[in-house]
Amino acid sequence: MKHYKTSMPFPLSKAVEANGFLFLSGQVSMTPQGEPAYGTVEQQVAVIFERISTTLAECGSSMDKIVKTTVWLSDMGHFQEFNTAYQHYFEHAFPARTTTVSALAFGLDVEIEVQALV
């Protein structure tokens, strides 16, 4: 197993590589300095996928190798706006996905976790 350290001040790895898979920690909308980046659901999704894309590239993978996402929304009322934003990040096919509702860190509205092939 290979662990990719995070620059954030949290006790977690930003990704772990095991048996040809990458398991990324859940991502919320944060600035590079580790501050919450509030905004619309669409804006939060854009920040999250920029972070995910960057992490995947650092680990030798890419967005088209994502096989599963887990999504947390702060309110199911954001479901349609989330889906509209989400669909733009997958060109060829959508990965398997689970979506649930939960209170999220920093009062943000979206968290996304992905598993991808290396």
Domain assignment of residue 78, given as a range:
2-117
Mean pLDDT over 20-24 rounds to 98
Residue 9: the pLDDT is: 75
CB neighbour list of residue 32: distance below 8 Å, 6 or more residues apart? none
How many domains does the chain contain in total? 1
CATH code of the domain in which 9 resides: 3.30.1330.40
Write out the chain in H/E/C secondary structure. CEEEECCCCCCCEEEEEECCEEEECCEECECCCCCECCCCHHHHHHHHHHHHHHHHHHCCCCHHHEEEEEEEECCHHHHHHHHHHHHHHCCCCCCEEEEEECCCHHHCCEEEEEEEEC
pTM for the model: 0.94
pLDDT tens-digit readout, 74-104: 999 999 999 999 999 998 899 999 999 999 9
